[in-house]
A and B are shown apart, each in its own frame.
Chain A
């Protein structure tokens, strides 16, 4: 199986103009992912499926991930003049990573029996319906999984033949798997509450009891 760098170079050769990035993965399993931009996702997916060396004809897993806006603290070493002597001091640099929703695809090959290649698409704009491109026309198995991503994360998969809610009921509003989802309040009866559940349950206690 080729390394992500080799795959990236061949993809860029096949489709110039596509922006592909390799994302790191520090854990011992170490499968690094290819981040593609939605405009070229469909073409690149077809290439990955049809290329004779890769033949990634089996899309094993499609899922969404919610990365809300986060403040990253990075410790960097800065050269500063202190008391007349140039020293290296550690400073904490704060950056704000913008929030995004992501769709992750795990691709394997049934013909050549290798894999996985991890493909990612980012939907940057949460407020405007977070669009991403559906790969159902390339791998039919993505159909239900992309509907689930739409249902639970709210990522609109453009080009999907039948995009509607699959696990929640049709009139449901809200996207439960997002990190900022607030569950409905049905904590009226909690026999042994503690921590957050206790706070929620206390809202239902009678006022004379709460005092």
Chain B
């Protein structure tokens, strides 16, 4: 399966069900690989503020996150593959968030949970608040809310699982960890005199062109 078209035809579903009735299960390497990855996403214990409490509540008995394979919250970034940035990222904390992201092994994903992680949230006017973690890191799923309900976090994990399941392993839109030249570490901002230097990472985030006056 080396070259060939990037969209390899998947197995015909009719044929697959016929074979299954006979006790023969068929799959493709891509499906199997993605299925294993999607159903065992291990988050990093990285709660910053109030959203962290809803994240903990999502892993507790009522909103059980363990059913989705995300039960094992790893304290060490070296063992985690999902970083749920839950809470306000301040400028004092931002270099450490990026450093932790760099320490995670590929493939790694980021969920920006809550309004503060997406864009600064209610504290947007603050001098110490980073207006969204997507200024320095590539974010895969964003959950709006202040704080988002645990069900919303479960929905985000399910969205991430769908994203992983649908990733094609070959071709131009294969994931970052399979691209030889793609960076897996991002530059860590430094503490400047009044703001972080640089204030955002131009490779990761470009402010959209405002067309209003």
Contacts and interface: CB of A to CB of B under 8 A. Distances in A.
Interface of A: 167-174, 176, 181, 183-184, 186, 188-190, 197, 201, 204-206, 209-210
B207 A172 contact: no
Interface of B: 91-92, 119, 125-128, 131, 191-195, 199-200, 207-213
14 contacts: A167-B128, A168-B128, A169-B191, A173-B194, A176-B127, A181-B127, A183-B125, A184-B199, A189-B131, A205-B210, A205-B213, A206-B210, A209-B211, A209-B213
B127 A171 contact: no
Contact of A184 (B119, B191, B195, B207): B195
Nearest to A190: B210
A201 B127 CA distance: 16
A148 to B, nearest CB: 13
Contacts of B200: 186, 188
Contacts of B192: 171
B193 A171 contact: yes
Contacts of B193: 171-174
Given A181-B127, A184-B199, A186-B199, A174 B194 contact: yes
A181 B192 CA distance: 16
A115 to B, nearest CB: 32
B90 to A, nearest CB: 10
Contacts of B208: 189
Contact of B127 (A183, A197, A206): A183
Contacts of B211: 209
A86 B208 CA distance: 70
A206 B191 contact: no
Considering the complex of A and B, which 7 residue pairs feature the smallest CB-CB distances, nearest first? A184-B195, A188-B207, A189-B207, A183-B127, A173-B193, A169-B191, A184-B194
Nearest to B132: A189
A211 to B, nearest CB: 9
Contacts of B194: 172-174, 184
Given A168-B92, A183-B127, A186-B131, A210 B213 contact: yes
A171 B209 contact: no
A173 B127 CA distance: 12
Given A186-B131, A186-B195, A186-B199, A169 B209 contact: no
A198 to B, nearest CB: 10
Nearest to B211: A209
Given A189-B207, A210-B213, A169 B92 contact: yes
A172 B191 contact: yes
A189 B131 CA distance: 9
Contacts of A197: 125
Q: Which of A174, A189, A206 has the most CB of B within 10 A?
A: A189
A176 B131 CA distance: 18
A201 B210 contact: yes
Contacts of B207: 188-189, 204
B75 to A, nearest CB: 25
B89 to A, nearest CB: 13
A55 B191 CA distance: 45
Contacts of A189: 119, 131, 207-208, 210
Q: Which of A172, A176, A186 has the most CB of B within 10 A?
A: A186
B210 to A, nearest CB: 5
A198 B192 CA distance: 26
A197 B193 CA distance: 23
Contact of B209 (A167, A184, A206): A206
A204 B210 CA distance: 9
Contacts of B213: 205, 209-210
A92 to B, nearest CB: 35
Nearest to B91: A169
Nearest to A192: B212
Nearest to A189: B207
A206 B206 CA distance: 14
B210 A184 contact: no
